[in-house]
Structure 1
Amino acid sequence: METKLSSEVLTKDNVDFSKMSEQMGDFLVKFWGVRGSVPTPGKDTIRYGGNTSCIEMQIAGKRLIFDGGTGLRELGEEIMQEIPVEAYMFFTHYHWDHIQGFPLFTPAFTQGNSFHIYGAIPPEGESMRKHFIQRVLHYNSPIPLNGIQADLRFYELQHGEKMMLGDIEIETGSLNHPNTAMGYRVTWNGRTVVYCSDTEHFPDRLDESVVSLARNADVLIYDAMYTDDEYHNPNSSKVGWGHSTWQEAIKVAKAAGVKRVVIFHHEPTHSDDFLDEIAKKVKAAFPQAVMAREGLVLPMGV
């Protein structure tokens, strides 16, 4: 079955989210936070958004959430309109910009909700549950630990592991990032979305782990934090910082045979106008590319 990708970019301004599943099918990707490293509210980031990484996938009645940056807080407000809810949360890694929304995620503190939380073993070697309860919540939430009323269940994954959520297949892969990170390949009904953030390309070759994970995907969401010029700037080199460029995103997409690539994890100093200029170059190099922005919805049509 061949996947047909919608050419329309849907946002919160032109679609009723409450009716999304009815209008656009059973596999939707929604962007709640698209910024890297640190939240960047302000007049220069209104169009693309300043919240850090958080992506939601609605698949055949299940809600999957990838990373818990500050975008997770706003997603939580939507979820609170639907309680009680059950959702599946997948973390690429535990750097602050990917978990900082969790202490403000109201559904986790609400009785009757259930969250299955997945990720790699934290670099300190402690369990995921201990890491979240002590390091994420205990030190960073004003709510006492006994205020966690939802049912939180933790599952540790290995790189290269495959798992099933009903008929949804999820495969993990290794990403090149300090203290490591985990990429995810999500497939349902012949359609595949790959989420690779955070990751840094290699100077002399493509990252075969990323290319393999993204092979023939319908959508690849890729860490394109810098431009090549920024990455190689001799006065402020970003080599070794664990992030990639939009030019490398295009290389990976072409090598992997990806249908659409989403430029994601925007650098905090990149204004809306700057990202608009990048968008023109990205489109010229890969016409089916999309710039991630808060409120973007990608329906995975058939």
Structure 2
Amino acid sequence: MSSTKHQFTVHFWGVRGSISCPGTTTVRYGGNTPCVEMRVGSQRLIFDGGTGLRVLGQALLAEMPVTAHMFFTHSHWDHIQGFPFFAPAFVPINTFNIYGAIAPNGSTIEQRLNDQMLHPNFPVPLQVMGAKLNFIDLTIGESIYLEDDLVIETALLNHPGEAVGYRVSWKGYTTAYVTDTEHFPYRLDENVLKLARNANVLIYDATYTDEEYYSPKSSKVGWGHSTWQEAVKVAQAAGVKKLVIFHHDPLHNDDFMDKIGENVADAFPNSLIAREGLSLQLIPPLKNIATSEK
């Protein structure tokens, strides 16, 4: 078996929420908005197209031709603003299968990606992209089956205008991508628990702290995001092995994120704060497996 087919890796290209925030105080964790790449078996999966997608695109130029499946949680600006700058989409030898749910107003993911590139918003229309773009409308709650036993489950999240959460499973390993969701006040979200159940990795939207979320002066209730304290509750209830805090508030600088990381680690030891460039390997290297099987 080749090493490229025996892999389940998760790479973070953008980890911020709301708006990109480059600068001297966000260097360690990064300032790009959401984009997460998973290499599962021989498949390349890309989740969301924030400004981190531009950085991923530059890396992919050295690997063409590229075929990938792109999954959008929703089309708020911070999750699609990198798509017009995704260089591989302009190269004819590449293929991208693009998935997204139909929005409450009836628009498809193709229409929404097209609209952001229309004049006077952008100088180059989507139709100039030379790659083969296959748009697939998702029904939230359905599963997508790719090669072998690679399955992507979907569920509705609690976010203004709706968002989709994803669960990627392959050969007994699972990563849940649950971002742009707001917890409920007196119970855990059953959809989130379903996506996170016994996952090897849970990537969870913890934009705020509880103190910020419930602040009497500037409450974030109803804004569509969650807290690291709620992330810990979900991870514990769902039997998650590793928790990754994601979708960081642009006002949270590196030092603030360090403190959050310490607090999360105290509450849930096997946890990480997502940062640009972070890679997680769910399956041990093939040589280790080969050695253990002797």
Cα distance change, pair 294–25 in 1 and its aligned pair in 2 (3 A) = farther
Greater Cα offset, 66-75 or 149-158: 149-158
- Corresponding position: 1:48 with 2:29: yes
Residue correspondence of structure 1 range 196-215 to structure 2 within 5 A: 196-215=178-197
Partner of 2:165 in structure 1?
A: 183
- Corresponding position: 1:129 with 2:129: no
Other structure's SS at 1:43 match: coil
- Corresponding position: 1:88 with 2:69: yes
User: Which one-letter code corresponds to 2:117 in the other structure?
Assistant: L
Q: Which whole-Å deviations, capped at 9, do the CAs of 1:25-84 have from their partners, x for residues lacking one?
A: 511000000001000000000000000000000111211000000000000001111111
Partner of 1:266 in structure 2?
A: 248
Q: Is the 8 A contact 1:25 1:299 kept in 2?
A: no
Q: Distance in 1 between the 2:106 and 2:178 partners? A: 23
- 1:115 is aligned, of 96, 119, 137, to 96
Q: Distance in 1 between the 2:32 and 2:104 partners? A: 25
Cα distance change, pair 145–245 in 1 and its aligned pair in 2 (3 A) = closer
Partner of 1:170 in structure 2?
A: 152
Partner of 2:9 in structure 1?
A: 28
Gaps of 5+ in 1: 1-20
CA RMSD of aligned residues (A): 1.5
Residues matched between the structures, number: 281
Q: Is the 8 A contact 2:101 2:108 kept in 1?
A: no
Residue correspondence of structure 1 range 150-161 to structure 2 within 5 A: 150-161=131-142
Other structure's SS at 1:213 match: helix
Q: Distance in 2 between the 1:51 and 1:174 partners? A: 25
Partner of 1:275 in structure 2?
A: 257
Q: Is the 8 A contact 1:24 1:301 kept in 2?
A: no
Other structure's SS at 2:10 match: strand
Partner of 2:207 in structure 1?
A: 225
Q: CA deviation at 1:146?
A: 4.2
Cα distance change, pair 228–85 in 1 and its aligned pair in 2 (3 A) = same
Gaps of 5+ in 2: 285-294
Q: Distance in 2 between the 1:50 and 1:187 partners? A: 29
Q: Is the 8 A contact 1:54 1:68 kept in 2?
A: yes
User: Which one-letter code corresponds to 1:223 in the other structure?
Assistant: D
Partner of 1:75 in structure 2?
A: 56
Q: Is the 8 A contact 2:207 2:228 kept in 1?
A: yes
Greater Cα offset, 123-132 or 172-181: 123-132
Q: Distance in 2 between the 1:121 and 1:131 partners? A: 10
Identify the structure with bigger relative contact order (alpha carbons < 8 Å, sequence gap 6+): 1
Cα distance change, pair 130–286 in 1 and its aligned pair in 2 (3 A) = same
Q: What is the TM-score when the length of structure 1 is the normalising length?
A: 0.90
Greater than 4 Å deviation, 4+ residue runs: 21-25
Other structure's SS at 2:25 match: helix
Q: CA deviation at 1:298?
A: 0.3
Cα distance change, pair 154–24 in 1 and its aligned pair in 2 (3 A) = closer
Q: Is the 8 A contact 2:155 2:195 kept in 1?
A: yes
Other structure's SS at 1:44 match: coil
Other structure's SS at 2:262 match: helix
Partner of 2:118 in structure 1?
A: 138
Q: Is the 8 A contact 1:104 1:141 kept in 2?
A: no
